[in-house]
Amino acid sequence: MHNRQVKLLASGKYLPRRKLTSADMDRLLGVPDGWVQKKSDVVVRHFIEDETASYMGAQAAREAMRQAGLRPGDIDCIVCASGTQEQPIPCNAALLQKELGPEWSGIPAFDMNSTCLSFLVALDVISYMIEASRYRRVLIVSSEIASTGLNWQDKQSAALFGDGAAAVIAVRAEETESSRIAHTAIRTYADGAELSEIRGGGSRLHATACNGDNREDFLFRMDGQAIYRMASKLLPDFTKELLDAAGTRMADFRLVIPHQGSAMAMRLLRRKLGIAEEQLLYITPNHGNTIAASIPMGLHEAMTQGRIRRGDRILLLGTSAGMTLGGMIIDY
């Protein structure tokens, strides 16, 4: 086990103003009535109007700061943990700091990206820096805009995603507190790297190469069935090793907060891992898949709705492009 005396102090969330129902998506995708909800289980999701990722992230961050009763000077570090970029340079965190205002100037700000598991990875890495007293209070923000990169010809993927942002403030827990990160495991299996990708926009296929013939290279592509098969094969052993290392059982968790990948992924989690219905926090129907923001959004819902209390053991769990598996056991 790798215990770290780190506490999740407060959270915030922002959803864009534009709300699309499954019926709206049926019309946009040109499919029969009810098709989107049947395939994705998403009843409503939010898409940006004129919002930017940095604007959404700033709104979520401000809510978290209000909940914590903190001022900008109380924060030692800003980490943006997102799978999408507002622009290639500078990093999302610099743009977020600018959006937050001049009183945030000078605070170190940088990005961590492991696509859908970016928040989990960022919390894991930054917890060691908090444990080592490098930082005392860290603002971690995941802000995702999926809607602008969707391939509307890939109807099953397009039906699933939503936009939004979430923020969490992580701090050093007092010795007398029970809050801690008990254990984390991350595994990457790169033979699944091509199953979920956007090929264009980087140095291999630069934006200047985009034309009518290769436009799909610059849009999101996902082989959902292949990802499901790979996750189905890998997740049970991965989760068993994670729980064994922490000396815990699935029944010990008050709540399991997964990456909200798809309805199919949620069924896989429950069936393969033995997660009880009341343990699983499922926000896909009213959020969609919000990429890296989905886990901290789930945390925010759990924290603000009182579904977890101090001392409760919770599990963050999911997969991301790469293919990466990640799990974190937290004593909240």
Active site residues: 116, 259, 289
Amino acid at 129: M
What secondary structure does DSSP assign to 195-254, as a single string? GEE--SSSSSS-GGG--TTSGGGGS-EE-HHHHHHHHHHHHHHHHHHHHHHHT--GGG-S
What secondary structure does DSSP assign to 136-179, as a single string? SEEEEEEEE--GGG--TTSHHHHTTB--EEEEEEEEEPPTT---
Please give the Cα distance from 289 to 220 (Å, whole number): 13
Please give the Cα distance from 222 to 214 (Å, whole number): 17
Q: In what order do the strands lie in the sheet with 137-144?
A: 6-14, 164-172, 137-144, 77-81, 109-112
The single-letter DSSP state of residue 10 is: E
How buried is residue 237: exposed, middle or buried, by Cβ count under 10 Å (0-12/13-18/19+)? exposed
How buried is residue 128: exposed, middle or buried, by Cβ count under 10 Å (0-12/13-18/19+)? middle
User: Which residue has 């997740």 as its token pair?
Assistant: 235
Q: Which two tokens stand for residue 181?
A: 């990160």
Is the separation of the CB atoms in 72 and 41 below 8 Å?
no
74 Cβ neighbours under 8 A, 6+ residues apart: 137
User: Which residue has 């990708």 as its token pair?
Assistant: 197
Please give the Cα distance from 244 to 256 (Å, whole number): 16
